[in-house]
């Protein structure tokens, strides 16, 4: 437990004012540091959410990858890709 020192009449008004100013300055600094820590905590939580979202998107893309033995074209964006036939690869000919 802390013991409180009774007010000492030996202190001058100037010393009391100086101590009071110092206490006020320290109090303001503690408040600023507390706000900074609070903001950093919020920023960290936001970054963690973004990382988690990115990991989920990456996992979703990876889950859509075909097996290595599958020779089909990759469709990672989910857009419709018409199937290609080997016969359609040649230029049309006119008779």
pLDDT digits over 27-55, tens only? 999 999 999 999 999 999 999 999 999 99
pLDDT tens digits, residue range 82-94? 656 555 555 556 6
Q: Are 73 and 81 in contact (CB under 8 A)?
A: yes
Q: Is the pLDDT of residue 6 over 80?
A: no
Q: Is the pTM of this model over 0.75?
A: no
- In a domain, residue 80? The reply is no
Alpha helix ranges (H) inside 1-95: 13-64
- In a domain, residue 19? The reply is yes
- Asked whether the CA dihedral 70, 76, 78, 80 is positive or negative, the reply is negative
For 46, the domain range is 13-65
- In a domain, residue 88? The reply is no
What's the gap between Cα 89 and its chain centre? 47
- In a domain, residue 26? The reply is yes
* Overall number of domains in the chain: 1
- In a domain, residue 91? The reply is no
- In a domain, residue 37? The reply is yes
- In a domain, residue 28? The reply is yes
DSSP code at position 10: T
According to the model, what pLDDT value does residue 12 have? 87
């Amino acid at each position: 437990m802390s013991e409180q020192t009774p007010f000492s009449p030996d202190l001058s008004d100037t010393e009391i004012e100086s101590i009071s100013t110092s206490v006020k300055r320290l109090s303001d600094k503690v408040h600023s540091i507390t706000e900074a820590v609070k903001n950093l905590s919020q920023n960290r939580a936001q970054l963690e959410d973004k990382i988690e979202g990115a990991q989920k998107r990456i996992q979703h893309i990876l889950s859509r990858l075909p097996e290595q033995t599958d020779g089909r074209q990759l469709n990672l964006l989910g857009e419709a890709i018409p199937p290609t036939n080997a016969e359609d690869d040649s230029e049309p000919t006119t008779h």
